[in-house]
Amino acid sequence: MTHLSLFSGIGGIDLAAHWAGFETVQFVERDPFCQKVLAKNFPGVPIHDDITTFSGLPFRGVTLVSGGFPCQDVSGAGKRVGVVEGTRSGLYRELLRVTREVGAQFVLMENVYGLITGGGLFTVLADLADMGMDAQWVRLRASDIKLPHTRDRIFIVAYPSGVSGFYLHQNIHSQQKSDCKGGYEWSPTTVRVYAPTLGRTFRVLAGLCRGHYGIPRELDCSKNADRLRALGNAVVPQQAYPILKAIAEMCA
């Protein structure tokens, strides 16, 4: 089973895909720091730096395409203009374009809960339907897998119309019960951080504890602003793993 990773970040979905038995054959990621992390932890896998110039045609027949497309325009912290063309969140259309070029059996898309509250979810589902794909979606929080933070996310699984026997919610439930893959490393402590631009304080986890984000310590490599930003944008692998395991079982 092969996997094409778009909007890869530091490889949260890709780590979960590896656990589930997929071989990642290509990354598409523009951020230089994230590229370094991917190159370190997935040696030999090529990285393309621009989704708009990437062609999926050389990857015809790949089993799975995944992507956590940009959330800036649907997030509650952003302007909430939706997944319209010309916005960063509108780049999900590039994910759909690559999916058409690849002809993948399955597509996994991830974004923040604002994709629902901002109305973008129905646009994405309609576009998938226009491509001849059925889709199921689920809302999962990091706290659902016993991690001490919310990380509220929407996952969409799409596949060609006519595929039967894939029951996302039942599969997630059974996988969560049988194998959660990893966990956090120690009881959290929190601190209050003041954000001058917002004029308020926030309670956050102290120590930039990697395990609490589902990312092993080996998956990031320096204590700096780039690392913090990358972790903040990362997909928790334990959230994605039950979905990817369910997809893998359908492909077997």
Residue positions annotated with a catalytic role: 71
**Residue 103 contacts residue 60 (beta carbons within 8 Å):** yes
**Residue 73 contacts residue 58 (beta carbons within 8 Å):** no
- For residues 60 and 83, what is the distance between their CA atoms, to the nearest angstrom? 27
- For residues 178 and 185, what is the distance between their CA atoms, to the nearest angstrom? 20
What 3-state class would DSSP assign to 247?
A: helix
- For residues 206 and 212, what is the distance between their CA atoms, to the nearest angstrom? 10
**Strand runs labelled E in the chain:** 2-6, 23-28, 47-48, 64-67, 106-112, 133-140, 153-160, 190-195, 200-205
**Residue 234 contacts residue 212 (beta carbons within 8 Å):** no
- For residues 243 and 171, what is the distance between their CA atoms, to the nearest angstrom? 7
Question: Structure tokens of 34?
Answer: 């994230």
**Residue 69 contacts residue 95 (beta carbons within 8 Å):** yes
β-bridge mates for residue 137, sequence order: 156
